[in-house]
A = this chain, B = another copy of it.
């Protein structure tokens, strides 16, 4: 009557090798975050469903796995699709007692109720980094770049450098200037951000429908279509080619393009000081769809233009207030494990023999004695001395075969309990790399094994 089961679509079984890769990714995120002075936090895996509507409106519900509380009150809960609402709730609750700037990171598992695709699973792990505070525009820009620098430094730790990825940046306020140049009325900026974010993913028919529904004028339409075609609004042709556009605002354009080149220069300069030159590129198409961004926005993308963005983030200065907290400037980013692993594999940056790295024994005990008691005792002593110990589960007493297993275990040394030596009260210690052997009195074995690890 046995049934067989599989994991649900879009989720993963982490067998030892897959788990070793996950640990490698998570440990690297954590280590580099701490190095940059961020501290780790986390929240519940599920939250009140309503929490997710604050920032994303009712339409988010269809993208969530949600369920009813059992018993009393039939409250609706949802599996977290991202960490930001939890972060905003936690910060809002304690904003005044937390030392500023708040520098938090987290490594939550997140969930999306959508059809799984390459690089997008239903369950994934996301590194979140957020920095809150900043009294002046200069300090807030510093925090923007400090978080982006952590992202780039961490990719460098994975072996991914400026030849592999670029930091594509934009600024919501500069995009508003662009909208003004394109003749978009201020009351339609929200729609325009939405459109710009999706424009490359929509068909001409879908775009036409959106224009009609939102009373978009012919001039605006030409502007959006030029952006959809990938034309660069910093090039003069962009504006010349706009069919039906009004008079070209040359002074406004000059101001807009100067603001961009000033910002690019400042970003380059700061990232170069930090030791991360050559990453930053202005990209007019980066707007980060989410409505809560208020300023600097960025993505880290494959320099070859392949794959999804490996990380993305920006400034969100009004979010903490939306969750009942004080006005608090904030900037941050997220990076998912699935896209990162694909990138590392494509670039040949996955460490070799990753599974063995995390599971390796340091010392391997080999015994050819009649009774198992002495090896059991020695293994217990070695583990009590905090050494990672392997031993064979085979019944053979053939030392050659057992030493083969020892070599395969990744251990640096084998300790050999052989009858002749044992009678003289000694154990053989064999360095498995150099194949050197020496005899060690039984009472000194644990210390000798520890010394061999140095």
Seen from chain A, the residues whose Cβ lies within 8 Å of a Cβ on chain B are 2-8, 11-16, 19-20, 22-23, 34-37, 39-48, 50-51, 54, 62, 65-67, 69-71, 75, 77, 79, 86, 89-90, 92-94, 100-101, 104, 109, 111, 113-115, 123, 133, 139, 149, 153, 156, 270, 273-276, 321-325, 355, 358-359, 361, 373, 376-377, 379-381, 383-384, 386-391, 393
| Closest B residue, CB atoms, query A143 | B393
Chain B residues positioned under 8 Å from A380 (CB to CB): 149, 273-276
User: Quick one: given A3-B50, A11-B46, A275-B381, are A36 and B389 in contact (CB under 8 Å)?
Assistant: yes
Chain B residues positioned under 8 Å from A77 (CB to CB): 8, 65
| Closest B residue, CB atoms, query A37 | B390
User: Quick one: given A40-B19, A90-B15, A115-B71, are A45 and B48 in contact (CB under 8 Å)?
Assistant: no
Nearest chain B CB to A227 CB, angstrom units: 32
- Residue from B6, B39, B51 in contact with A359 in the complex, judged by beta carbons closer than 8 Å: B39
Within the assembled complex, what's the spacing in Å between the Cα atoms of A74 and B277? 50
Within the assembled complex, what's the spacing in Å between the Cα atoms of A355 and B70? 35
Within the assembled complex, what's the spacing in Å between the Cα atoms of A24 and B14? 23
- Residue from B3, B39, B324, B389 in contact with A2 in the complex, judged by beta carbons closer than 8 Å: B324
Asked if residues A41 and B19 are in contact (CB atoms below 8 Å), the reply is yes
Asked if residues A275 and B377 are in contact (CB atoms below 8 Å), the reply is yes
Within the assembled complex, what's the spacing in Å between the Cα atoms of A94 and B13? 12
Chain B residues positioned under 8 Å from A47 (CB to CB): 5, 7-8
| Closest B residue, CB atoms, query A133 | B393
| Closest B residue, CB atoms, query A271 | B380
User: Quick one: given A387-B35, A389-B36, are A273 and B376 in contact (CB under 8 Å)?
Assistant: yes
- 28 examples of A-B residue contacts, CB within 8 angstroms: A2-B323, A3-B50, A5-B51, A5-B89, A7-B89, A11-B46, A13-B44, A13-B90, A13-B93, A16-B40, A16-B41, A16-B104, A19-B39, A20-B39, A23-B40, A35-B389, A37-B388, A37-B391, A39-B355, A44-B123, A45-B111, A46-B123, A62-B70, A70-B114, A139-B393, A156-B384, A270-B376, A273-B377
